Amino acid sequence: MSRLLDDLQADLAGLRRQSLLRSRRSNALPCGPWAEVDGRRLLSFCSNDYLGLAGAPELAAALAAGAQRWGTGSGASHLVSGHYDCHDELERQLAGFVGCERALYFSTGYMANSGVIPALVGRGDAVFADRLNHASLVDGMLLSRAETHRYPHADCAALESRLVASTAKRKLIVTDSVFSMDGDIAPLAELLALAERHDAWLMVDDAHGFGVLGPQGRGALVSLGLASWRLIYVGTLGKAAGVSGAFAAGQADVVEWLLQKARTYIFTTGAPPALAQALLASLALIRDGDERRAHLALLIATLQARLAGSRWRLLPSSTPIQPLVIGDNAAAVTVAQGLMEAGLWVPAIRPPTVPAGSARLRISLSAAHSLEDVHRLADALADQERDLGGKRPAS
Ligand SMILES: *Cc1c(COP(=O)(O)O)cnc(C)c1O
């Protein structure tokens, strides 16, 4: 006798009733501006493939060559025997690229974030986290068992008063660099100044900045000229880098400590060396990617210019994440469905992922888009605006 399955099925039915059941759409094409879902071609503005590298033939060739050279699996965890020359080379190059002494390559960004925080702080310590931080940072914070303080988004004054009041042994400030649902950038220089003033670490998750921000795409810290032993930088490699994986970088002893203590690094099989080989090729494309970044900047400026007169407001963002606030949940879904019928795929993001009343279309742009693609999106949005006509926006 058990109610386990009955309860679970009732809960699933509940999600379905509230339209909260999530489902996946299967794409028949490789990652790129065009998708094919249920036999329909769609122009997609969903991916985090900001430089258009996920489908780049050079990287597919590097991955294939990597597999020829290294086979498929690593065979063991990094600390046993699953660590290869190309992993070392990748870590050396990543560290240099983002201006840190040393880097440690993790299998995913989720694992980097959920492993780094518990390695640095524990019981008796405190984590100070921006309220809009990514779920992987939240989970790392919970796993650490440190006391947690979530401060209002980008609010340095609120953060400082919490730092002042804290009697914790060790303090860690944690923030996204570019916030994934808003596209805005954290006040990193001010956060580092606070870390210095209150003797804290500062961990920066640059998932959406690596490859995009700064000279040669070297990321958020280099773009602001920030360097300090207090900084722990996390870059992810499945977004602009177009492959998969992540790395934590910082002062050499800090990274040595992560290697000794991060459980998500230690207790997992090393990532396939062929991926590291593909990532070395990706890094070269990122480094030489000024044209891609310039094109992306042009797309962003074009979208902003085209939507300037819209009844819907683009959030102020200089990054490829351009959220268009619709406000009302049902209206956001209606607009996304209308776009889908017109052959455009743009995700509608609703509460609780974003605050109530700020349901939005999360438009994300990629260097693989053409100017024409962006005009097509703007035209389709204008059609939607007209179709919803008469009705005023839910403020
Ligand atoms: C995507 C993302 C991650 C997770 O990285 P994965 O490599 O996809 O696991 C972490 N932080 C932020 C802000 C992200 O957007």
Is residue 180 annotated as involved in ligand binding? yes
- Do 24-51+290-387 and 57-287 have matching folds? no
Is residue 134 annotated as involved in ligand binding? yes
Q: So where are the chain's domains?
A: 24-51+290-387, 57-287
Instruction: Pick the more confident residue, 395 or 332.
Output: 332
Asked if residues 239 and 211 have their Cβ atoms less than 8 Å apart, the reply is yes
- Please work out whether the CB of residue 130 comes within 6 Å of at least one atom of ligand 1: no
Is residue 319 annotated as involved in ligand binding? no
- Please work out whether the CB of residue 362 comes within 6 Å of at least one atom of ligand 1: no
Q: Exactly one of 87, 208, 295, 369 is catalytic; which is it?
A: 208
Please tell me whether the overall predicted TM-score, pTM, comes out greater than 0.85 for this model. Answer: yes
Mean pLDDT value across residues 202-206: 98
Mean pLDDT (the chain) is: 96
Characterize the bridge pairing of strands 313-314 and 171-176: unpaired
CA distance 349 to 78: 38
Q: Exactly one of 107, 114, 180, 317 is catalytic; which is it?
A: 180
- Please work out whether the CB of residue 110 comes within 6 Å of at least one atom of ligand 1: yes
| Ligand 1 centre distance from Cα of residue 108 (Å) | 8
Q: Tell me the best of 205, 233, 268, 349 to mutate to test the pocket of ligand 1, counting ligand atoms within 8 Å of each CB and taking the most.
A: 205
What are 41-68's pLDDT values in tens digits? 999 999 999 999 999 999 999 999 999 9
Nearest C-alpha to atom 8 of ligand 1 is from which residue? 109
Does the annotation mark 239 as catalytic? yes
Does the annotation mark 180 as catalytic? yes
What are 357-394's pLDDT values in tens digits? 999 999 999 999 999 999 999 999 999 999 887 455 44
- Please work out whether the CB of residue 176 comes within 6 Å of at least one atom of ligand 1: yes
CATH class of the domain whose range is 57-287: alpha beta
Residues constituting the chain: 395
Superfamily covering domain 24-51+290-387: Aspartate Aminotransferase, domain 1 (3.90.1150.10)
| Ligand 1 centre distance from Cα of residue 66 (Å) | 24
Nearest to 323 by CA among 289, 343, 346: 346
What are 159-168's pLDDT values in tens digits? 999 999 999 9
- What sections of the chain are H helices per DSSP? 4-17, 57-70, 85-97, 109-120, 135-144, 156-165, 188-197, 220-224, 252-261, 263-266, 273-287, 290-306, 329-341, 371-387
Asked if residues 19 and 35 have their Cβ atoms less than 8 Å apart, the reply is no
Distances from the Cα of 69 to the Cα of 87, 93, 169, 269, 297, angstroms:
14, 20, 48, 19, 37
Residue 70 in this model has a pLDDT that exceeds 60? yes
Does the annotation mark 136 as catalytic? no
Residue 242 in this model has a pLDDT that exceeds 60? yes
What are 93-148's pLDDT values in tens digits? 999 999 999 999 999 999 999 999 999 999 999 999 999 999 999 999 999 999 99
